[in-house]
Amino acid sequence: MSVKTSINRPIIAIHPYSLNDAADTLSIFHAAVTETAADDYSPEQIQAWARPEDRELSTWHAAMQRRNSYVATVNKEPAGFSDVDPQGYIDMMFVAPRFLRLGVARHLLTHVEAQARAGLLAELSANVSITARPFFERFGFVVQAEQHPVLGGVRLTNYAMKKNLFANQTELESEFCLV
């Protein structure tokens, strides 16, 4: 488990997802989609994306396990989650609305990026919502394409994004290189 803290910030810890996190992560997903993303998507799009009537806890848990998921807590309360697969694809990154702007997503992204680097992956990729695009761009992801997936018969917009891990590592190494 990693723990991040500072004088004016709450304690953010990240741990591997477990069955005990299933209900909390499903709740975070639903709140993030229905509240946080509501400024960027229509009510019809939000309903098609969230699909609360179609989400069963055991199915959610099985999918979270397959995705190599991690959970962030703020002062021991579930605050967000993310994942990264063996190819460097981030399928989900969601933060509960009440924990926005506290560094939760940044800590999650730092953690999954470290996992990818440890696996010697060259890049990270994700299909990112309109809402999340500025965050991912701030951390070095670049839009590859605008996409229009259809969920439940409703057309949404998201972005295929990638981050080259070697380029960023080289830039960091060259900044600290002493000649």
Domain chopping of the chain, boundaries: 2-175
Q: Which fold has domain 2-175?
A: Aminopeptidase (3.40.630)
Number of Cα atoms under 13 Å in the Cβ half of residue 83: 18
List all residues 6 or more positions away from 14 whose beta carbon is below 8 Å from its beta carbon: 1, 2, 70, 71, 72, 73, 107, 108, 111
Rounded mean pLDDT for each run of 10 residues along the chain, 179 residues in total: 58 97 97 96 96 90 95 97 96 97 96 94 97 97 98 96 77 41
DSSP secondary structure letter of residue 55: -
The CA distance from 92 to 75, in Å, is 22
Tell me the C-alpha to C-alpha distance, in Å, between residue 58 and each of 55, 64, 79: 9, 10, 21
